[in-house]
Amino acid sequence: MSRDVVGMWEVSLSDGIYQIEFEHGTTTGRRVIYINGKEVFRKDWMFKLVGKETFPVGSTGTKATINIEAITGFSYEYTLEINGKSLQSFLNNRSKISRTWILKLDGVDCRIVLEKDSMDVWCNGQRMETTGEFSDEGTETHFAVGDHECCIKAASSEKKKKGISHSLYVDGTKVTEASG
């Protein structure tokens, strides 16, 4: 059976990157939502073709809503909201409240995310056990990935607009932050 995917979005959360697909049967009203290729929601028959569907994403149950709006006649517009914000607004805010590093450790791709508001650290979807300490430059958050010693150093950037800068060190070597 072919899928009638009308909307596709990529959402980057602390515990991973999620591919969300939405299928909308405009004759039957069928609505199907897939996350990373796995069906998570289905309504096969609906009289109302417009509206919204809300569902959880990721291990923390982040609230996602797909809005279905008629534009003209039988054409529709599909938009995704995350935590009540448009996807673009959510992603813009996310870049302010988190830092992400992508690196290879022992041949494995690692995606390390720091949530600046809670100081939680995630590696490939798992919240890491961390210990914090103060240093002369600011604070250090220590954690391990396998046999590797990792540390996120937070220090004043000396620039008022930029605020605090966060740097990841793995086994004493600074890692470049991922863009986006």
What is the number of other CB atoms lying within 10 angstroms of the CB of residue 39?
Answer: 12
Residue written as token pair 């299928």: 23
Tokens of 163: 């605020």
User: Residue range 84-98: average pLDDT?
Assistant: 89
Q: Which of 41, 40, 36 is nearest to 15 (CA)?
A: 36
Chain position carrying tokens 């450790």: 105
Quick one: average pLDDT of 5-21? 93
Four-point Cα dihedral 37, 94, 178, 59, nearest 10: -40
Note if the pTM is more than 0.85.
no
Residue 179 DSSP one-character state: P
Q: For residue 94, give the nearest of 83, 78, 80 by alpha carbon.
A: 83
Percent of the chain's residues with pLDDT above 70: 93
Strand order in the sheet with 16-24: 5-13, 16-24, 31-35, 38-43
Helix (H) / strand (E) containing 92? helix 87-97
d(CA 143, CA 124): 14
Contact 41, 21 (CB under 8 A): no
Report all structural domains of the chain as residue ranges with CATH numbers, in order of start.
5-83 (2.40.128.180), 98-175 (2.40.128.180)
Give the pLDDT band (50/70/90) at residue 1.
Answer: very low
Predicted pLDDT at 159:
65
* pLDDT single digits (tens) 57-75: 998 899 999 999 988 877 8
Whether residue 180 is predicted with pLDDT greater than 80 in this model: the reply is no
